[in-house]
Structure 1
Amino acid sequence: MSVRAVTSLTNPTVKAVRALHLRKEREATGLFVAEGLKNVTEGVELGHAPTILMFGKEAAAHPLTRKSIAATLAAGGEALEVTQEILAKVSRRDNPQAVVGVFRQRFTPLEALKPDSADVWVALHRVRDPGNLGTIVRTADAAGCGAVILVGECCDPYSVEAVRATMGSIFATPI
């Protein structure tokens, strides 16, 4: 596969990525959106290849974008050069990031955690705010915590807001 250009807002892949803003779509597909070259690069460097990578023309030549394109294609994913209008639609922002990646969610079952593997663990009960959850995940990563354990009904750690607030730590910290 190679990089292809997409300019239509009605393209099926564009529609599918836009739909990932909805929790039910993320749950149904097991996918999530990470916005920005830093977040996407963090995922790639930690062994998470995007299933879909969208990037604007201005980001195409950046070495980290090129590395992300290579990782996406090597994993059998789609790499799409898209318009600024498409980036705005898929990120739902007026000033969108130049790179957007779609990744597989990775939840670690509680029984798979090894209590002796870390000195500190974070357990959260019924967290409601995705921005707060993302910030806690980022802090747990910085502190070297073993995992962030979600107890009870919590907001979705793979929502766009939560992922944005993790600043890439969603790829480094088991959830």
Structure 2
Amino acid sequence: MTSAPRREITGFSNPTVKFIRSLREKKHRKTSAKFLVEGLRLLTDARESGYLPEILILSTAREPHPLLEKLEIDLGQTGADVIETSPDILAKITGKSNPQAVAGVFAEFDTSLDTIDRSSAYIWLVAQDLRDPGNLGTMLRTGDAVGAGGLILIDDCADPFSVEAVRASMGAIFTQKLAKARWDEFLPWLRSGKNGAPGQLVAASLRDAVPYRGAPYQAPCFLLVGNESQGLPEDYEAACDLRVTMPMKGRADSLNAAMAGAVLAYEVLASFD
């Protein structure tokens, strides 16, 4: 098998350079339905999960690597655009003074609830109005670690396809199912049992809550985490099947949203083992 042919770009004003650089902004990602991924590790995670970039960007200063060679061979079968350019232009694309030597442009995934097969996993993570892309990426990474099916984003969450969220996910953007919905769409879907059995909705709360240790979790369990500063709206909490509380032994009155999700996810995992 042969690698995909490369083309060289030497100018900052090249239309392809401008397009890839524009993907750092949400409005351009939304218009094109593409997103940018930086680094050979993430590109390898994508490849091993069945995703290949539509555009591969290579720095002329890169070091040879067998994983990169495998990626280029795979792209030779897809007709992907493989670009070789200078570190300075790659820095312009990524916005970093010391960029990774490899980057790729991927098509965004179908994020409708219809893509979720709830019977495929015992645990699902749900985030409502989560605004920090780092927290979003961390939740994806947590989902991968506990064997969750994926992450469902409710209402006005951060963009999961931003460079910051993708980087924080450490490749889990490619291993976890991802869906987006409004609350008034999500709750009927959950209760309907579409694509599997109806799920149990669980939230960390102080309202009529039981200790999170030993709580009666049921699969499939959907763990709901709220906004970093405001938490969950009261009516959202009221709609949950189970509300659990975690002890705060110090001065802090709450955990970081993504960390709370991780603690709960591991407790649910332990209860199912």
TM-score bucket of the superposed structures, by smaller chain: over 0.9
Matched to 1:55, the amino acid is L
- Matched AA of 1:111: D
Q: Distance in 2 between the 1:3 and 1:31 partners? A: 21
Structure 2 distance, partners of 1:32, 1:140, is 21
Please say if 1:167 is aligned against 2:157.
no
Per the alignment, residue 134 of structure 2 pairs with 131
Aligned equivalents of 1:94, 1:164: Cα separation in 2: 17
1:140 corresponds to which letter in structure 2?
Answer: G
1:12 correspondence with 2:12: no
How do residues 88-99 of structure 1 correspond to structure 2 at under 5 angstroms?
A: 88-99=91-102
User: In structure 2, what residue type is equivalent to 1:51?
Assistant: E
Are the counterparts in 2 of residues 58 and 98 from structure 1 also a CA contact under 8 Å? yes
Unaligned runs of 5+ in 1: none
Determine which of 98, 118, 121 is the counterpart of 2:121: 118
Structure 2: runs of 5+ lacking an equivalent: 179-273
Q: Deviations over 1:7-33 (max 9, x none)?
A: 211111111100001111111111000
1:2 is matched with 5
Note if 1:147 corresponds to 2:155: no
SS at match of 1:55: strand
- Using structure 2 for the length normalisation, give the TM-score: 0.62
Q: Deviations over 1:29-64 (max 9, x none)?
A: 110000000001111121111110001124362111
Asked if 1:100 corresponds to 2:103, the answer is yes
Equivalent position of 2:239 in the other structure: none
Counterpart in 2 of 1:33?
36
SS at match of 1:44: helix
**Aligned partners of 2:63 and 2:112: how far apart in 1?**
37
Q: TM-score, normalised by structure 1?
A: 0.95
Larger helix proportion of the pair: 1
- Higher mean Cα deviation, 157-166 or 42-51? 42-51
- Output the aligned Cα RMSD: 1.3
Native 8 Å contact 2:36 2:103 kept in 1: yes
3-state SS of paired residue (1:121) = strand
CA contact 2:61–2:86 (8 Å) conserved in 1: no
Q: Following the alignment from structure 2 to structure 1, what is the Cα–Cα distance between the partners of residues 121 and 110? A: 18
Conserved? CA contact 2:61–2:87, under 8 Å: no
Q: Which aligned pairs between 1:33-112 and structure 2 lie closer than 5 A?
A: 33-59=36-62, 61-112=64-115
Give the match's secondary structure for 1:48. coil
User: Equivalents in 2 of 1:83, 1:7: separation in Å?
Assistant: 7
Q: Where do 4+ consecutive residues of structure 1 move more than 3 Å? A: none
- Give 1 or 2 for the bigger CA radius of gyration: 2
